[in-house]
Chains A and B, each alone.
Chain A
Amino acid sequence: MQNADDNENDDNTLGAMLAARGIGRRSLLKFAIAMASSLALPPGVAPLMAANLAKAKRRSVIWLSFQECTGCTETLLRSSSPTIEQLIFDFISLDYQETLMAAAGAAAEKTLRDAIAANKGEYLLAIDGSIPTKDSGVYSLTGGRSNLDMLKEIAADAKAILAIGTCAAYGGIPKAFPNPTGAVGVEDLVSNKPIINIPGCPPVPEVLSGVLAYFISFGKLPDLDERKRPLAYFGATIHDQCYRRAFYDQGKFAHSFDDEGARQGWCLFELGCKGPTTHNACASLKWNNGTSFPIQSGHGCIGCSEPDFWDAGSFYTSLAGGSATGWRNAGVAAAVGIAAGAAAALAARNKSRPDPEDKP
């Protein structure tokens, strides 16, 4: 781990580089305040965070895309604070990212090898996408190598691993039934490195920014919950933070997507909203520079940041509902009950002979 104090007089520190670009201490402090606030850190931490950022050296980040749809990369590109340009050029050194880098083919492979060698034991490894394990991981290859092999090799020298998106965190949609590629998340394969999961399909970009800023500032991962998610962003459910929560408490629900309740902006619980069981920061940070989030746009939460969300029943079945057994099964159960009841009654009849005194 880089010691911030050792870098105080170093021209290669973030502070020196930012100053060279005309970004002063005040701007850095503003950024630190925003990040500290989003991480739910005490206000007094912001100056310390800014000071540590100024002293820190840029952290090498190697980003590997596995079995994924590039939505997670897209979401990072839409991070509003800081922007991706700031992240890349100011706070991190994104040494390998197949979607964003100019190099390709052998040159890209060399870049990856060089980045690993130059930052051995110090780089952050960011993963998006699940890892197919069936048939030796042959279902997703990069440069002829399976994602499975790449993860094992590159994770070995990483300082910590960021599993970005639900696929990297828990397997996501590729893991959904019947999971033809044997897809799993990072934590299913790597156990000897600090891992932080930032689930979501895609994840909220500001969460990634906040986690990176925290790691660069303090040299460690923020507090995590039992599913290795940053508590500051995943400590509460969507339901708890939802602006429609009051309607839930009042029993005011939209019964369809175009009824009066929907127009009034009432709770979408009846329409299958998974907000009560989903932990994420969508309702507080929102998307597109804080413009909106799915519930605000009139659609219930689909629970995309929870494990196995794709297999957890219909998005439009309320949490109060269950999986019905079907009339056929109900009929079979009734038939079994009737047969058992008749048999029990017959047995009882045979056991108790009629009382002779009952005869006329």
Chain B
Amino acid sequence: MTLLDFARGPAFQASVLILIAGSAWRVVAMVLLRRKPQFAAPRHGLPARVGGGAATILSRFAPRRAFWPRIAVSVVLSATFHIGLAIIIFGGAPHILLIRQLTGLTWPSLPKGVIVIVSGVTLASMIALLIRRLNHPVLRLLSTADDYLSWLLVFLPVLTGILLSGETIGGYATLLALHILSVELMMIWLPFGKLMHAGLVFAGRGLMGMNFSRKGAAT
């Protein structure tokens, strides 16, 4: 069995199963956690609270104007690499092929050149964010191993992807295997660290917004 066969076969299957099991564990454990009972009468009814949740999902995309000067750089860089990742994942032809194979869903792909440019911008923004994290005294203090591991496990698929697109180092088969393996590592870690925000970010914002709305706070 070649490295590519391993990556496309047993490693892919194992990482998908770990991703499913880990995500189920994470969600169920969170849902069933004990919460402090709310004794105050709700300020708004359920429809308004749902509206508050939706409003919070949207409002958290942009920081409050007062914070803007301090965090503009990180917000722009973060948005850049998140949008870049979305374009790469949902616009790259091989990725669409994989999604089609697994789900039956498909859509037109973007030209490879566009994906390569977006990958380069994404890599650059991720490196800039890492430099900022390492240089910012408060951010550095707040950062844990999870932050750096999560960064690395997102960075590696983009890096191997851009190397694969140009077939610059090594052969296609080796680079493809490394790219797939790097994605599988990310899939394995995703439910257990901060990368889980990929699946929980909107649910978290929505629940927080509903809670704010219940208390009559701004959403």
Tell me the bound Cα distance from A76 to B199 in angstroms. 58
Contact segment of B6-14, B62-70, B149-157 = B6-14
Contact segment of A51-59, A141-149, A292-300, A317-325 = A317-325
Interface residue from A240, A277, A320, A342 paired with B94 (Cβ < 8 Å): A320
A341 and B27: CB pair below 8 A? yes
State the Cβ distance, A218 to closest chain B Cβ, in Å: 28
Query: What mask results when residues 297 to 313 of chain A are scored 1 for a CB within 8 Å of chain B, else 0?
Result: 00000000001100011
| Nearest B residue to A354, CB-CB | B34
Interface residue from A249, A335, A349 paired with B34 (Cβ < 8 Å): A349
B101 and A251: CB pair below 8 A? no
Question: Looking at chain B's contact residues, is the secondary structure mostly helix, strand, loop, or mixed?
Answer: helix
Tell me the bound Cα distance from A319 to B164 in angstroms. 13
Query: What mask results when residues 28 to 61 of chain B are scored 1 for a CB within 8 Å of chain A, else 0?
Result: 1111111011010000000000000000000000
State the Cβ distance, A147 to closest chain B Cβ, in Å: 26
Q: Does B73 contact A (CB under 8 A)?
A: no
Q: Does B113 contact A (CB under 8 A)?
A: yes
A325 and B13: CB pair below 8 A? yes
Query: What mask results when residues 169 to 208 of chain B are scored 1 for a CB within 8 Å of chain A, else 0?
Result: 0011100100010000000000000000000000000000
B171 and A337: CB pair below 8 A? no
| Nearest B residue to A275, CB-CB | B172
How big is the A interface, by class? 35 or more
| Nearest B residue to A237, CB-CB | B172
Interface residue from A269, A276, A330, A337 paired with B93 (Cβ < 8 Å): A269
Q: Given A277-B173, A312-B5, answer yes or no on A251-B109 (Cβ-Cβ < 8 Å).
A: yes
Q: Does B83 contact A (CB under 8 A)?
A: no
Interface residues of A in 152-186 (CB under 8 A from B): none
Query: What mask results when residues 253 to 279 of chain A are scored 1 for a CB within 8 Å of chain B, else 0?
Result: 101000000000000011000001100
For B29, the chain A residues whose CB sits under 8 A away are 340-342, 344-345, 348
B94 and A251: CB pair below 8 A? no
Tell me the bound Cα distance from A213 to B16 in angstroms. 51
Q: Given A237-B171, A329-B17, answer yes or no on A345-B97 (Cβ-Cβ < 8 Å).
A: no
Interface residue from B2, B28, B112 paired with A341 (Cβ < 8 Å): B28
Q: Given A250-B112, A277-B4, A355-B36, answer yes or no on A321-B172 (Cβ-Cβ < 8 Å).
A: no
A318 and B94: CB pair below 8 A? yes
Q: Given A277-B173, A318-B94, A320-B94, answer yes or no on A342-B28 (Cβ-Cβ < 8 Å).
A: yes
B33 and A348: CB pair below 8 A? yes
A276 and B173: CB pair below 8 A? yes
Interface residue from A253, A325, A337, A352 paired with B24 (Cβ < 8 Å): A337
B23 and A337: CB pair below 8 A? yes
For A355, the chain B residues whose CB sits under 8 A away are 36
State the Cβ distance, A279 to closest chain B Cβ, in Å: 8
For B176, the chain A residues whose CB sits under 8 A away are 276-277, 319
State the Cβ distance, B122 to closest chain A Cβ, in Å: 18
| Nearest A residue to B13, CB-CB | A325
Interface residues of A in 47-78 (CB under 8 A from B): none
Tell me the bound Cα distance from A270 to B110 in angstroms. 14
Tell me the bound Cα distance from A360 to B173 in angstroms. 65
B24 and A341: CB pair below 8 A? yes
For B167, the chain A residues whose CB sits under 8 A away are 240
* Interface set of B (CB-CB < 8 Å, partner A): 1-2, 4-5, 7-9, 12-13, 16-18, 20-34, 36-37, 39, 93-95, 97-98, 101-102, 106, 109-113, 167, 171-173, 176, 180
A-B contact pairs, 22 of them (CB 8 A): A240-B167, A250-B111, A251-B111, A255-B106, A269-B94, A277-B173, A307-B2, A308-B5, A313-B9, A319-B176, A320-B98, A322-B12, A322-B101, A323-B8, A323-B13, A337-B20, A337-B22, A341-B26, A341-B29, A345-B29, A345-B30, A349-B33
Q: Which 10 A-B pairs have the closest CB atoms?
A: A337-B24, A341-B28, A345-B32, A320-B94, A322-B12, A337-B21, A341-B29, A341-B25, A277-B173, A333-B20
Known: A341-B26, A341-B30, A341-B32. 14 other contacts (CB 8 A): A239-B172, A248-B112, A308-B5, A318-B97, A318-B101, A320-B101, A321-B98, A322-B180, A323-B13, A337-B22, A340-B24, A340-B25, A345-B28, A354-B34
